[in-house]
Amino acid sequence: MADPGSWDLLDEDCSDISDWTDGDSGDCISQVNPAGQFEFDANTSAGGGQAYRYRDIGDYPNTFTFEIKVYHDDIGTLANSDYFRVQLRQADEEFLVLFATDGIYINDTDAGYTEVGTNLVKEGGSAEWQTWRFLVTFGAVGDGVCDVYLKDSTHNNEKVGTAIPCSREAALISGQTQIRQFGTNTDDMMTHIDYLKIATGLYIPEAEVAVDSAIFFGSNF
C-alpha cells in the first residue's frame, strides 16, 4: 500500500490555522508563517506556557494512519518538558507522541514512554524536515499498538518501529486533535509543521526508487 485514496479524517496543508482553536498561554504563539507552515513558538515561556492548538475532526476509528511533516528549530529533552507533542483522541484512550532532542516517544498507560528507534529526531543544528507516518490499531481499550515509518535524508520511508504500545487511557473528547510546543524550562523552543494528514485504515508508505541521474546521449531506446 501507499497513500489512501483520500485523507478522509484530516488533510491539513497548514496554510490556514483559523479552524484550529487557539489555546496559547503566556507569550507563546501558534500561527502560520510567511512560508505557509504552522509555526509553534514557545518564546520566553520557561517556567510555564505552551504554543497550543486543537480541533475536533469527528470520531477516530480503531485503525487509522497519521502522517506529519515537521521541522524542529529547537526543542528540549523528554525529561525537561521542552518537547513537541501531538495527541489524537478517542473517547477512552488516545495516541500521544512526543518529539524531543533525545528521541521520539509514544506513551502507553501500561508501558509508559517507549522510544522509537534511537535518537531519530533531528533538531537545532542538525534540523531538517522529517516525515513521520504512524499506523495505529486500537481495539479493546488499552491494547493499542502502532507501527512507525520515517522519511528524511537518512531514511527512505523506512519502518523504524513495530507494534509500539500506544494506548494512553483516559476519559476524553473523541475526535479532539491537539498540537503543542512546550517551553517549560527553556526559552525559544520552536517547531514548524508543513502538513498533517489522517486517514481511516492502515497504509504502509512506499519507499521511493532511486533513479540514476546519468544522462545518455545518442541512445537507440
pLDDT above 90: residue 209: no
Identify which has the larger pLDDT, 48 or 200: 200
pLDDT recorded at residue 46 = 81
Q: For residue 113, what are the CA distances in angstroms to 97, 122, 142, 194? A: 9, 19, 14, 26
Count CB-CB contacts under 10 A for residue 156. 15
CA distance 62 to 192: 28
What is the pLDDT confidence band of residue 180, given thresholds at 50, 70 and 90?
Answer: very high
Q: Smallest Cα–Cα separation from 11: which of 66, 59, 53, 63? A: 66
What does the mean pLDDT of the chain come to?
Answer: 93
Inter-residue contact 106 to 85 (CB < 8 Å): no
35 CB-near residues (< 8 Å, 6+ apart):
192
Question: For the residues of 193-216, what is the DSSP string, one character each?
Answer: EEEEEEEES--PPPPPPP------
What is the pLDDT confidence band of residue 220, given thresholds at 50, 70 and 90?
Answer: very low
Cα torsion angle, 154, 156, 162, 164, sign: positive
Residue appearing with cell numbers 475536533: 56
Mean of pLDDT values over 138-159: 97
Count CB-CB contacts under 10 A for residue 176. 18
pLDDT above 80: residue 145: yes
Q: What is the pTM of this model?
A: 0.92
pLDDT recorded at residue 214 = 42
pLDDT above 50: residue 184: yes
Task: Give the CATH fold of the 10-200 domain.
Answer: Jelly Rolls (2.60.120)
Phi, then psi, of 139 in degrees rounded to 5: -170, -120
pLDDT above 60: residue 96: yes
pLDDT above 90: residue 221: no
